[in-house]
Amino acid sequence: MTKPVVGSMTAMRHLNTTLVLTTLRAAPGPVRVSALMRETGLSRPTVEALVDSLGGQGWVEASEGRPQSGRRSPGRPARTYAFNARAGWVLGVDVGAHKVSACRADLRGRPAAWARRAVTPATPAADRLSAARAAVDDVMAGAADAPVLAASLATPGAVVPHRQRVLLAPALPGWDEVDFGAWAAGFLDCPLDIDNDANLAVLAEQAVGVARDRADVVFVLLGERLGAGITTGGRLLRGQDGAAGEIGYTRLPPHVRPPAGYGPLEAHVNAHAIVAMVEAELARPEVPADSPLRRRFAAGGPGDRLPALAASARDGDPAALRVLRTLCGRLAQGIAPMLLVLNPELLVLGGGVSSIGDVLRAPLSAALAEQVLFPPELELSALGDRAVVLGAVHAALARFEDTILAEITA
Amino acid sequence: MTKPVVGSMTAMRHLNTTLVLTTLRAAPGPVRVSALMRETGLSRPTVEALVDSLGGQGWVEASEGRPQSGRRSPGRPARTYAFNARAGWVLGVDVGAHKVSACRADLRGRPAAWARRAVTPATPAADRLSAARAAVDDVMAGAADAPVLAASLATPGAVVPHRQRVLLAPALPGWDEVDFGAWAAGFLDCPLDIDNDANLAVLAEQAVGVARDRADVVFVLLGERLGAGITTGGRLLRGQDGAAGEIGYTRLPPHVRPPAGYGPLEAHVNAHAIVAMVEAELARPEVPADSPLRRRFAAGGPGDRLPALAASARDGDPAALRVLRTLCGRLAQGIAPMLLVLNPELLVLGGGVSSIGDVLRAPLSAALAEQVLFPPELELSALGDRAVVLGAVHAALARFEDTILAEITA
DNA sequence: TGTGTTTCGAAACACGATTTACAAATCGAA
DNA sequence: TTCGATTTGTAAATCGTGTTTCGAAACACA
C-alpha cells in the first residue's frame, strides 16, 4: 500500500506514529501527553498531532476524565489518551487430535471469548475443519463491531514454512493434504498463520505464562504425543522443514518398536507408556495387594489413571514413586541431548501430562541434573490446556504488530 | 556519544548516512552517484552531501577515474566513490589447544596478514596468552596507518555471554581463570568479543564458506575435540551459559568411561578414537597381513594416520571402509538428536577430521539418512583450519557494522 | 562542429519537528 | 474569594532535512 520510502520525512512520520501507538499500547491505562513526550522523546506539538490523527482513525481514544485516578497534580487537567484495544480482534485456533479450541482476543491480547469442540484422532480432515470453523463462528458471534485483523492456527505436525501445509501428522487422517490458506479464505479476511502447537505454546508461556522475559526457552508438550517448542534469542526456532523440536522421533535402542504413527521416544514416555509403566509396577510381586496405587488405579476410569498415580505419589507410595523415577529417567534421557544442544535457560513442561506435573518436578529435576551439563530451570506450564490456543492468539498479535502496525499512516 | 534521538531529523540523517555507507560497502567497486540514488532511493543532492561528508571523515574515497572500466556511457563522466576498506582493520584471533592464529583483515573482510604460533594443550594460560599477543603483534606489524576498530577471539569451551570468561575448558590449564577483557585492554584499543571456536567457524562458513545465504546451519568441529556451532535464522545460537552445541558431552551407554577432560561422545568419535578403531580393525584375524591399511598405517608417523585411512578407503580397502562405516555410525548416532531438534538446512563438517572428509561424506550421509527424519544437506568445510580464525574476523566485522557504523554521524 | 546524454551544482520548495510565547484550566493558600 | 503557582493546550516562528527544478558542464558519437 504505502510505498517503501526510505529516509524521507514521511518515513520519519511513520516511525513516530508507530512509536506513539506502541507506547500507548504498552501502557496499562490512559496516558497524558506529557507522559508520551517523556516516553517517546518527541515534542508536545508532534505528539498531539499524532494522537489526533490516530484518534481520527480509531486507533486511539481520548478519555476526557482523570488520568487514572492516581494522585492529582496542580495545573490544568490533562486530556488523556488510550490505545483502543477494541479497534479490532485477533483470533487463535488450536486444532488438536481430541479437541478444537478457538479464542478471540482484543488487540492487547486479552481474551474476550472462548469456544471448543470435541473431535477424535479418527475424525476426517473435512470434519475437523468444520469443527474449527464452528468454533470460530462461536467466538465471533456478536463481535461484528470490529474486524478480525489477524489469525493464527495451531496444529500438530511439522508446518512447512511459508507453505501453510502440514507434514508429519500421521495421527490425523488427511491432515497433510489440507490447504489452510484456501480454507480460511472462505470466511476470514485477514492474514492467517499456521504453526506447530508446541511452537505456539512456548510463545504463550513467553507472553503470559511462566517464561515471561526469557529468551531461550524449551516447552515440552507431553501427553499422548511428545513435541517441543523452542525459542532462541526470543525468536521461535522452526527449522528448515518446520520440523524443529520433533524430539518424539528420537531413536531409542531397538528393544521395542513404537506403534504405528508414534515416534520411538514418544511411545516410550507418553500417557499410554505411563499407564503401562504403572501396570508393570503393579505386576511386580513385592508390591502389596493393598498398595494405594493399586486401589486408586483400579477404582477410576481411563481418565483418572494419571491423577491416581499423582495422588499415590503425594501419599508417598513407594510403587508410585518408582514409576515416576522410571518415567523421569526415560524423559530426561530423551530430552538431555536437546538441552545439551540448546543450553536454554528454562524448560517448561506442558501438555496433558503436566496435570501431574507437581509430582514430576522433583524427580525430573534430579534426573536432568545427572544427565545435563548445565541444567535449565524447570517450570510447569501455567496455562494448562489453553497454552496452545493462547499461543495462537499471541502469534496473531505478533502478526498484527509486525504487519498491520507498519501500515498505519498518519 | 551521540544521544539516542528518536524520530528527529538528525535520526534520519544517521539512517541515510549508514544506508549510503553500507550500500557503498556492499558494492564490489567504485560506484557513481546515480547508482547510489537508485540503490538507496535518495535524491542526488542528498547522496552528494552524504558522500562528501563521509569522504571528509575518511570512510569514503572519491576515485576520479572511470566507474569500473565497464561499458562507457555517453554524457558527462561521473565521479565515482568507493568505500574505504582501509579506514581501519579488524582482527581475528583463534586460540586453540595446539596453535594460536591471528588474522588482520580490512573492513571488507579481506585478509591482509596472517600469523600463527604453536602451543600445546599443556601450555599454561599465561604463555598461551603471550603466544596470542605475539601473533597479534605479527599481523599488526607495519599496519599502524589505520586503527583496529574491532577484534574477536575464538577459544574452545563455553564462553559465558557478556562475561568474557571461559567455562568448561578442561583441556587448557588455567584457561577458565583468564579475564580476556583485562588482557586485551593492555594493547587493544577497540571492542573485543570472545566466542566459542565452533560458533565462529559457522559464521565464517556463512560469510565466505559453503554456507553462504543459509540461515539454519550446524557446523560440526571434529578433531581431537567435538563441538558444534549453530545458527538459527542466521543468528548464532549461544545458549544461556554459552554452552550451546557442546554435543561432545552427550551421554553414551556406559560401557566405557571417557578419559579425563573429554566428553563421552567426544572420546567415542574423535581423532584418537578413529586411530583406536583402525587398530581394533587391524587386530581382527580376517584382515590380511598385506592389507593396504595395515601397510600405510605402520609406515607413517602419528600425523599420517588419518590420511592413511583415507587413502586406503579411496583404494577400496574393505578394512578401511569398515572403519569409516563404524565411525560414521557412531557420529550419526551422536548428532542425530541435534539434527532432530534443530532441523537445519545444512550440516558442515570441519575441524581436523575434515581433512579426510571426502571419504566420510558418503557413509555419513547414508548413516544420517537412516537416523534423521529430515536429513540436512552435508558439506565439507571449505576453509580448512582457517575456518575459526576467519570466523573471528567476521565476528569482528559484524561488531564493526553493529556498533561502529551506528556511531558514524555526518 | 554539432547533437544527445549524463552529470554536476545551486536555488527554490515542501515537509516535519522543535522552540517560543501566550492563553486556559485547575489547585492551594492567603 | 482571590491570587499565584503549576500544568496543559494552542498558535506562530524557526530550523533542519530531503526533494524538485533548472541551467551549465563535460564527454561520446556522428
pTM of the model: 0.92
| CA pair distance A197, A94, nearest whole angstrom | 7
* Three-state DSSP state, B119: coil
Distance from CA of B332 to the nearest CA of A (A): 11
Q: Does domain B214-382 have CATH number 3.30.420.40?
A: yes
Helix (H) or strand (E) holding B334: helix B318-342
pLDDT at residue A3, as a whole number: 42
Cβ pair B342:A232 closer than 8 A: no
pLDDT at residue B65, as a whole number: 55
Checking if the pLDDT of A1 tops 80, the result is no
Contact indicator for B71, B146 with CB cutoff of 8 Å: no
pLDDT at residue B2, as a whole number: 37
CATH tag, A8-68+78-83: 1.10.10.10
Residues of chain A neighbouring B371 (CB-CB closer than 8 A): 251
Q: How far is the CA of A262 from the C1' of C3 (A)?
A: 79
User: Could you say which DSSP state residue A237 is in?
Assistant: -
Cβ pair A244:B15 closer than 8 A: no
Q: How far is the CA of B10 from the C1' of C16 (A)?
A: 12
Residue among B348, B276, B354, B347 nearest B310 (CA): B354
Enumerate residues 6+ apart whose C-beta is below 8 A from A286.
none
- The predicted-structure confidence for B283-325, as pLDDT tens digits, reads as follows 999 989 888 899 998 888 888 899 999 999 999 999 999 999 9
Please tell me if the domain spanning A89-203+388-408 has the same topology as the one spanning A214-382: yes
Beta strands in B183-338 (DSSP E): 192-196, 217-222, 226-232, 235-236
Q: Are strands B80-83 and B31-32 parallel, antiparallel or unpaired?
A: antiparallel
List the beta bridge partners of residue B152. B92, B193
Residues of chain B neighbouring A168 (CB-CB closer than 8 A): 373
- The predicted-structure confidence for A81-133, as pLDDT tens digits, reads as follows 999 999 999 999 999 999 999 999 999 999 999 999 999 999 999 999 999 99
Distance from CA of B19 to the nearest CA of A (A): 9
C-beta atoms surrounding B280 within 10 Å: 11
Q: Which residue type sits at B311?
A: A
Name the grid cell of B58: 575518511
pLDDT at residue A2, as a whole number: 38
- The predicted-structure confidence for A38-87, as pLDDT tens digits, reads as follows 999 999 999 999 999 999 999 999 876 555 445 567 778 888 999 999 99
| CA pair distance A320, A313, nearest whole angstrom | 5
Residues of chain B neighbouring A337 (CB-CB closer than 8 A): 247, 250, 337-338, 341
- What fold characterizes domain A89-203+388-408? Nucleotidyltransferase; domain 5 (3.30.420)
Residue among A88, A82, A84, A101 nearest A36 (CA): A82
pLDDT at residue A325, as a whole number: 97
Q: Domain residue spans in chain A?
A: 8-68+78-83, 89-203+388-408, 214-382
pLDDT at residue A410, as a whole number: 63
Q: Is the CB of B41 under 7 A from strand D?
A: yes
| CA pair distance B361, B394, nearest whole angstrom | 27
pLDDT at residue B71, as a whole number: 55
pLDDT above 90 covers a percentage of chain A that reads: 76
Per-residue pLDDT of chain B (410 residues; tens, 9 = 90+): 334 456 778 888 999 999 999 999 999 889 999 999 999 999 999 999 999 999 999 999 987 655 544 556 777 888 899 999 999 999 999 999 999 999 999 999 999 999 999 999 999 999 999 999 999 999 999 898 999 999 999 999 999 888 888 987 777 889 999 999 999 998 999 999 999 999 999 999 999 999 999 999 999 999 999 999 999 999 999 999 999 999 999 988 766 678 888 899 999 999 999 999 999 999 999 989 888 899 998 888 888 899 999 999 999 999 999 999 999 999 999 999 999 999 999 999 999 999 999 999 999 999 999 989 899 999 999 999 999 999 999 999 999 998 888 888 76
Grid cell 584418537 in the structure block, residue = B272
